[in-house]
Amino acid sequence: MRILVTGAEGILGRAIREWLASGNTLYLWGRDEVDVRDPERVALAAKGIEFDAVIHAAAMTDVDRCETEFDLAMATNRDGTRHVASLAKERGATLVYLSTDYVFDGTKESPYLEEDPPHPINAYGRSKLAGEEAARGGAGRSLIVRTSWVFGEGGPNFVDAIVAKLSRGEIPEVVTDQRGSPTYARDLARGLERLLRLGTDGIVHVTNSGETTWHGFAVEIARYLGSTLPIREITSEQTGRKAPRPRNSVLSGERYRSLTGESPPRWEAALHDYLARLSSLKRAAA
């Protein structure tokens, strides 16, 4: 497949570059090459290249910053998507739009299904939901993939933050009252490729299998690293963060399973793979 990737320098973009390079032709757009807020730049950069799909991973992902800079969040996450969708439509390519568990309000007791009504409770979620609408309305064929709690190389993420704290001997304070499914960018990238090859459209939830709290996630990181430091339990309120987060944002993997015939690896196994990789990269750099 010939795939154009926006947000190529981000966590997912880097994973796509690494894990989907073989068997595909990738065109990688980082922010320096193409700011997706600029429709002319998007059109110009696409001149002379041909592609079957666009994975639109560029986004403003700092959830608390979206709260105070909502115009920028909308310009990036909604308008940027509109520009990329229009390019995909013009070229007859499938648009894959990455969306988020934060389109839900977290009041459901069980995992969210693709058809559950979205009701975001923060600015990031509202801007990403507006992006979903832009993707659906503006593209010919579109696939909206909602994911959650992404970790991997290429940007600030929860796993790296906990590893850094523990290695400095600091005790991490982590919330116990938000549930979700961690997702290794490698498994997400592979999931996107599978769905694209199947010609899937509509909405699909893709995360690693299983669920936990942020606290449970941190405990597993510490356990794998053999750290004896405790992980201190706190509530969302105690974090003092600007944006509220949903209490439950576990996404059901049923549709993905019925489409592909398989489930992504458990989050614990994916985390161990990533941590092993981090330590081998560190050894290589030493």
Ligand X SMILES: NC(=O)c1ccc[n+]([C@@H]2O[C@H](COP(=O)([O-])OP(=O)(O)OC[C@H]3O[C@@H](n4cnc5c(N)ncnc54)[C@H](OP(=O)(O)O)[C@@H]3O)[C@@H](O)[C@H]2O)c1
Alpha-carbon span 101 to 105, nearest angstrom: 9
Segment contacting ligand X by CB under 6 A, of 31-39, 169-177, 216-224, 235-243 = 31-39
Which of 3, 4, 7, 193 is the binder for ligand X (CB under 6 A)?
7
CB of 216 to ligand X, least distance (A): 16
Tell me which H or E stretch contains 212. strand 212-213
Segment contacting ligand X by CB under 6 A, of 16-24, 51-59, 265-273, 278-286 = 51-59
CB of 82 to ligand X, least distance (A): 12
* Nearest by Cα to 188 from 264, 93, 99: 264
| Binding-residue pattern over the window 85 to 104 for ligand X, x denoting contact by CB under 6 A | -------------x-x----
Alpha-carbon span 166 to 228, nearest angstrom: 9
Which of 5, 20, 45, 76 is the binder for ligand X (CB under 6 A)?
76
Q: What number of other Cβ atoms are within 10 A of residue 280's Cβ?
A: 10
**Residue whose pair of structure tokens reads 């209490």 in the numeric block:** 247
Among this protein's residues, is 124 annotated catalytic?
A: yes
Alpha-carbon span 84 to 100, nearest angstrom: 18
Segment contacting ligand X by CB under 6 A, of 28-36, 223-231, 234-242, 265-273 = 28-36
Q: What angle do CA 60, 66, 69 make, to 5 degrees?
A: 105
Q: Given 97, 102, 124, 184, which residue is catalytic?
A: 124
| Binding-residue pattern over the window 108 to 147 for ligand X, x denoting contact by CB under 6 A | --------------------x------------------x
Residues in contact with ligand X, counted by CB under 6 A, come to a total of 26
**221 in Cβ contact with 159 (< 8 Å):** yes
Q: What number of other Cβ atoms are within 10 A of residue 32's Cβ?
A: 8
**144 in Cβ contact with 135 (< 8 Å):** yes
Which residue ranges make up the site for ligand X (CB under 6 A)?
7, 9-13, 31, 35-37, 57-61, 76, 80, 98, 100, 128, 147-150, 154-155
